[in-house]
Structures are given as C-alpha cells and as structure tokens.
Structure 1
Amino acid sequence: MSATPFLDMMPSSRSSADGAEGLAGGEDPLPDGLAQFDRYLDRLSLDTGVLVVFDRRPEAPPWKERGGFEQATTPSGREVTVLRV
C-alpha cells in the first residue's frame, strides 16, 4: 500500500497555523506532510506553524514511544513544530 497523506484540519490565526496529517499506510508521513503544510502556510502568508502527524502505519513505533515534539524545516525553509502521535 502506498502512503496517502492528507490534511484533516487546519485551524489558523493571523500568527500561526496548526495542521493534522493522517496516513493510510506506506512510508513515513513527515516529508509529504511538511511539503503539504508548507503550501498551506504559503497561502496564509505565515512563516511558522504546528503540524500534528498521526502515523497509522502498522510498522510505526508503539503509541507510547512515538509521541513527542520536534523541530522541522519545510521544503521552502519555514521552521515548524511537529508532534508525532
């Protein structure tokens, strides 16, 4: 099965945006999620945001091991906070 990431929701304000990324299977969702989130941030003229990645892959680490925040950079250079769950 190939990865099929999608943006579930994106509440936003004038200063930041939050996205929730889902995955139906396949590879790590973060690279595609960052690229998609980058396009949304661009449309909203925002420099940063918080991306929540819901990793539903069978091979994903156990739930208790994968939760946590990390910093990442989008393809265009925006700094975002990522929460993997």
Structure 2
Amino acid sequence: MGEMNWSGKEKFVNSEDLPWISILTGKDAGEIRAAGPLTFIRVKNSGHMVPYDQPEHSLEMLNLWIKARIHDGDDDQKRRHPTEDL
C-alpha cells in the first residue's frame, strides 16, 4: 500500500498496526491498520482463502465491516479496539 499514490497514503503508511484479538475465540486473530477509506486486515494463519483457513475469524471480520466497527480513529473518542462493543 505504501507504493501506491493516493490521497491517504501518508496517513495510512504512518498509522500503526493494531492487534486484533478475536471476541469469538479469544485468540490473536491478526492485525488491523486503517486510515481514511482504507482498512487492511491481516488474518493470522490464513492464505487467500480466509473463510476456509480461519472460518471464525473470517465471519468476525465480515461482521466488523458490516457493523462499521472498523474505522480510522479520527473521531473525538480515544482510539479503541475495533471489536469493542460487538
């Protein structure tokens, strides 16, 4: 993502990867990085077939996206883990 030229590049490159601890499994599910309209999620122990490799984490990722819990942290609230209050 750092090689692409787009309006949010600097913000995305300078944002940190946040750990994603699954609320469904309690396990380290991966990492989330978000800035502006772009969110990148790395799902641990999976390949390109995330629903096959990590079905529980795949479902949780989809629910996070549907419920708009993945955001760039630009609001007035302190930055919180995206899975809080699911």
> Is TM > 0.5 for Structure 1 vs Structure 2?
no
Higher fraction of strand: 1
Which protein has greater RCO, CA pairs closer than 8 Å, 6+ apart? 1
Higher fraction of helix: 2
